[in-house]
Amino acid sequence: MSAGARVRRRRRTGLALAVVVLAVAIVVSFAKQRETLRGPAAKPLPGPALRTLAKDDHILLGTALRDEPLRDEPGYRKDIVREFAAVTPENAMKWDAVEPERGTFKWGGADRAVDFAAEHGLKVRGHTLVWHAQLPGWLTDGNFERTGLLHLMTGHIRREMGRYKGRVPTWDVVNEAVADDGSLRQSLWGKELGPGFIAAAFTAARKADPKARLAINEIGAESIGPKSDTLLRIVRKLKQRGLVDEVGFQAHFNLNGVPKTMESNLKRFAKLGVDIAITEADVALPDKAGPEALQAQAKVYARLVRTCRAVPRCKALTVWGFTDRASWIPHNQPGFGRATLLDDQLAPKPAYRAFQDALRGS
Ligand code: G3I
């Protein structure tokens, strides 16, 4: 073989090698991407499942459910089925998700949540029918007059509850109606329809699914104060008309902890003859906080569980996500993550064990 031919052959071999290396690199990177897409595997968790311990306390234990990891992450799904007895679709049932354009309905996420729950024997908390946030633009910018708006509100309730009749046993009918100072929140609903929108929504909901349990859900009303005083008056009136079955306290906490008056507050609501639910519990931590913050967080979770156990009518407790990889906190409150029981790799944090111990009564 001539020197020229040898050089050409070496070049060809080199090129072929480079192509093989590139192909392998592409395959490995695709495989890695797919692994990320599918999320971490569920980790072994110590002791009995939380749902079992909660059941012994007559508490239905739930978690917020996100559509993306529900679709993509087997570990996420596995943990839910193992640890929880109920799910609350975190965003999939909100008005902007189900009717982004007027008259165009997208039930994909909501259906997925309800089907997943049915497949695994989990209860669903419908969330949420009448709220001031996550409303579609056509509704907020529509300048509807009073009667038209009322009609849209009751129509939305009828349609959504009707679709899931018999499959969603509890609904957050009205969410966050009261402002922090105890006045009616000046939302689209409060501003345009006045305080009567609340009873109108509950009346429509009762009619839409007479067997469903109807809840009013509130944020920041855990302690005794102007906000919970107003809520108490609203609930008393609704209860007198047979329109409400349950009051939801969201319990979005941080390291300031559970308010001292929470237990007595829940008890005064229970006295009205309604059930109590903790509906969106989490405990936000600054990202920069050290390991001692995780211990402090564990104490807040434990205290919350004990508070629910101390109120006989506190029948449900839902955490607003159970893993840091699917929690609203980092996205909506940048600088604050790590608010849930498991870390972003699904490994238990001190809060998980503390939650377990508190459910056991220890
Ligand atoms: O859907 C859009 C998507 O199209 C867009 O590309 C993306 C870009 O950021 O945003 C997506 O919308 C996000 C939406 O969740 C759906 O994922 C919003 O940015 C985000 O702000 C929104 O946050 C939700 C928040 O409600 C809105 O107020 C949280 O996930 C949800 O956990 C949170 O839940 C509420 C309860 O329903 C009621 N109580 C308070 C609680 C916390 O705010």
What distance in angstroms lies between residue 70's CA and the mean position of ligand 1's atoms?
Answer: 16
- Containing H/E element for 80? helix 74-83
Query: Looking at this protein, which amino acid is placed at residue 194?
Result: G
Distance CA 136, CA 77 (A): 29
Query: Looking at this protein, which amino acid is placed at residue 6?
Result: R
pLDDT value at residue 34:
55
Q: Which residue has the higher pLDDT, 362 or 241?
A: 241
Q: What is the pLDDT of residues 264-298, one digit of tens each?
A: 999 999 999 999 999 999 999 999 999 999 999 99
pLDDT value at residue 14:
72
Is the distance from CB of 318 to CB of 281 less than 8 angstroms? yes
Residue 31 has pLDDT above 70, yes or no: no
160 classed as catalytic = no
Q: What residue's CA is closest to ligand 1, atom 38?
A: 175
pLDDT value at residue 1:
63
pLDDT value at residue 19:
73
Closest atom of ligand 1 to 320 CA is 32
Q: What is the pLDDT of residues 203-230, one digit of tens each?
A: 999 999 999 999 999 999 999 999 999 9
Give the residue among 257, 340, 348, 344 at the shortest CA–CA distance from 299: 257
280 classed as catalytic = yes
Q: Which residue has the higher pLDDT, 8 or 154?
A: 154
Residue 140 has pLDDT above 80, yes or no: yes
DSSP 8-state assignment for residue 86: E
Ligand 1 contacts (CB < 6 A) are 90-91, 133-134, 175, 219, 250, 280, 328, 332
pTM of the entire predicted model: 0.91
Q: What is the pLDDT of residues 72-121, one digit of tens each?
A: 999 999 999 999 999 999 999 999 999 999 999 999 999 999 999 999 99
Distance CA 238, CA 344 (A): 41
pLDDT value at residue 267:
98
pLDDT value at residue 47:
87
| From 83, 176, 218, 246, active-site residue | 176
pLDDT value at residue 37:
65
Expressed in percent and rounded to 5, the helix, strand and coil fractions of the chain are 50, 15, 35
**Band of residue 184 on the pLDDT scale cut at 50, 70, 90:** very high
What number is the average pLDDT over the span 342-348?
97
**Band of residue 245 on the pLDDT scale cut at 50, 70, 90:** very high
SS3 labels along the chain: CCHHHHHHHHHHHHHHHHHHHHHHHHHHHHHHHHHHHHCCCCCCCCCCCHHHHHHHCCCEEEEEECHHHHHHCHHHHHHHHHHCCEEEECCCCCHHHHCCECCECCCHHHHHHHHHHHHHCCEEEECCCECCCCCCHHHHCCCCCHHHHHHHHHHHHHHHHHHCCCCCCEEEEEECCECCCCCECCCHHHHHHCCHHHHHHHHHHHHHCCCCEEEEEECCCCCCCHHHHHHHHHHHHHHHCCCCCEEEECCEEECCCCCCCHHHHHHHHHCCCCEEEEEEEEEEEECCCCHHHHHHHHHHHHHHHHHHHCCCCEEEEEECCCEHHHCHHHHHCCCEECCCCECCCCCECHHHHHHHHHHHCC
pLDDT value at residue 22:
75
Q: How many CB atoms lie within 10 A of CB 311?
A: 19
Residue 3 has pLDDT above 70, yes or no: no
What distance in angstroms lies between residue 131's CA and the mean position of ligand 1's atoms?
Answer: 13
pLDDT value at residue 10:
77
Cα 237 from chain centroid? 28
Residue 259 has pLDDT above 70, yes or no: yes
Is the distance from CB of 65 to CB of 87 less than 8 angstroms? yes
